Amino acid sequence: HREAFRKVPVVSAAISLVQHDVAKLPWRVWYEGRTGKRRELKREDGNLADLLTGANPRQSGYQLRVDTIGSLYTGGNAYRALAYFPGAPTPAEAWCLPAHNWRVIPGANRGVVRYEYNRGGAWEEVREENVVHFPDYNPDDEPIGMSRLEPLRRDYEAQFYALIWLKEYFRKGGVVAGVWSVKTGGPKLSPADLLKIAEMLNAKHQGYDKVWNAVVVQGPSGPQVIMLQG
């Protein structure tokens, strides 16, 4: 899916547009106090509003949202890793790490046993409370999301294997299908004549297992068209 983002211009352009459109949306943090009233959480050092605005030393909150949406659209999942300072009860940094480096170990009832992250080729366990997982919709009963590029990948794979089949077809003796026609005003052929011509073409036609059989199509005004159909 990352290759589709790199190599298919319309995919890259569409996802980039959505990334920045979502990141530019105004956002606010709300909470309910003991009175049950909904209040806005103003940014203060160490609170959630501060974390979502500052994100981490290398990114702003805007860039964190761009990465999150990009990861969600390409991989079907986005993972934010939370980093704590020693002794601090709340996270100090939030990082959106590449989704393809994460591994989710499923448990019972669509739960998650643990998360693992591939760091330099070695899988390291990450505590569940240190991961904020954003899964996209998945038609299967799995705790991970399905990439929105999955249908595109399958379509490109189908085209790729079709070209491989075509290459092998010609390599093993296949020939290009042709179109045969007669001039307007020619004699109208009877069904028996059409069948005879088709049988002759099928007998002479060369190709790998003769996968393209000949058919005869006759127009209503008289001219006949004989074509090889795949």
Q: pLDDT by residue (tens digit) across 148-167?
A: 888 888 888 888 899 998 88
pTM of the model: 0.66
Which helix (H) or strand (E) element contains residue 22?
A: helix 9-23
Q: Is 127 left (phi over 0), alpha (psi -120 to 50) or beta?
A: beta
pLDDT value for 68: 96
Q: What is the pLDDT of residues 83-92, one digit of tens each?
A: 998 888 889 9
| Mean pLDDT, range 206-223, rounded to an integer | 57
CA 138-139-142 angle, to 5 degrees, is 60
**How far apart, in whole angstroms, are the C-alpha atoms of residue 86 and residue 104?**
26
**How far apart, in whole angstroms, are the C-alpha atoms of residue 197 and residue 215?**
9
Lowest average pLDDT, out of 60-64, 119-123, 184-188, goes to: 184-188
CA 66-70-72 angle, to 5 degrees, is 120
